[in-house]
Amino acid sequence: MNPFQQAREAAAAARARYRDGLVSPTAGHAPGLTQCNMICLPRDWAYDFLLFAQRNPQACPVLDVTEPGEFSTFLAADADLRTDLPLYRVWRDGELAAEVSDVRELWAEHDDLVTFLIGCSFTFENDLLEAGIDVRHISEGCNVPMYRSNRACRPAGRLQGNMVVSMRPVPAERVADAARITARYPGVHGAPVHVGEPALLGIADIAQPDFGDAVSIKPGEIPVFWACGVTPQSVVMASKVPFAISHAPGHMFITDVPDSQYHV
């Protein structure tokens, strides 16, 4: 079995564990295979969202869109999008209504859901690790810290809201390397949107992320911020979308697509 086949088996095994009920952040799992953010909206909202994504490609790089009511994707042929993520969030009128590990019943109630699978910055973390740049939430075994920023996205139709960002601390002398490496993954958020000075992004306390877990920032490290695929959840809240299902932050959909697919 070659390494790619091994990775695909690891991905299928991870999806099977989540299908069976395991709840766990996915960073570092099935390394080498792309992970996705997910947002499902009624068909009536699909154009607004696809346009929003086009207008905000750093935050919302779309990797696949399903037909209304479908729950399969060409990103992983045997996967079921209703069960194969470790944790989902259900949104009603822009408010978090529930966190559940299976959304088959909800899908049955809303038969025209369109699912958008959106690139995730986990995709380039393997390259950072290989370049000798520590990825703190992996080495500390927790979820990546994410923050609501003060940066407004370009609105589209009924959708508007601010960008959510993920943060990784990087030694000052490696910031340029981190920017260079991640820039070549434009399909999975690409280059950082901000380096240093959290206050300029409207982040009052870097130790209090809005999503995920805080990580330690060591002396000589600079907080580096990337656009984050949790942005659609922030937009669902800000725009009071009547119904949506998303992944829970950090609990991604693991695909069968190698990270290298998104490397330019």
The reply to whether 50 sits near its own copies by the rule CB under 8 A is yes
Distance of CA 183 to the CA centre of its chain: 17
Tokens of 82: 């209703």
Instruction: Round to whole Å and give the CA distance between 26 and 35.
Output: 8
Is the dihedral angle over the CA atoms 188, 181, 248, 27 positive or is it negative?
A: positive
Among 77, 204, 207, 264, interactor with its own copies by CB under 8 A: 264
Using the contact rule CB under 8 A, the part of the chain among 4-12, 28-36, 49-57, 215-223 near its own copies is 49-57
- The mark string for 165-194 relative to its own copies (x by CB under 8 A, - otherwise) is ------------------xx-xx--x----
Which residues have CB under 8 Å from 37's CB, separation 6+?
117, 118, 119, 120, 229, 230, 232, 246, 247, 252, 253
Strands (E), the chain: 33-42, 62-65, 88-92, 95-100, 113-119, 146-152, 162-171, 194-195, 221-227, 243-247, 253-258
Q: Name the residue among 189, 202, 200, 197 with its Cα closest to residue 230.
A: 189
Residue 59-78 contact track with its own copies, rule CB under 8 A, x = bound: ---x--x-------------
Q: How many residues does the chain have?
A: 264
Name residue 118's beta-bridge partners. 37, 62
Nearest to its own copies of 187, 192 (CB atom): 187
For residue 75, the SS3 value is coil
Q: Which stretch binds its own copies (CB under 8 A): 46-54, 128-136, 222-230, 240-248?
A: 46-54
Min CB(61)–its own copies separation in Å: 10
Site mask for its own copies (CB under 8 A), range 6-45, x = bound:
----------------------------------------
Of 54-62, 134-142, 162-170, 244-252, the segment contacting its own copies by CB under 8 A is: 54-62
Site string for its own copies, 109-148 (x = CB under 8 A): ----------------------------------------
Least gap, CB of 47 to its own copies (angstroms): 4
Q: Which residues in this chain contact its own copies in the complex, by CB under 8 A? A: 46-47, 50-51, 54-55, 62, 65, 183-184, 186-187, 190, 264
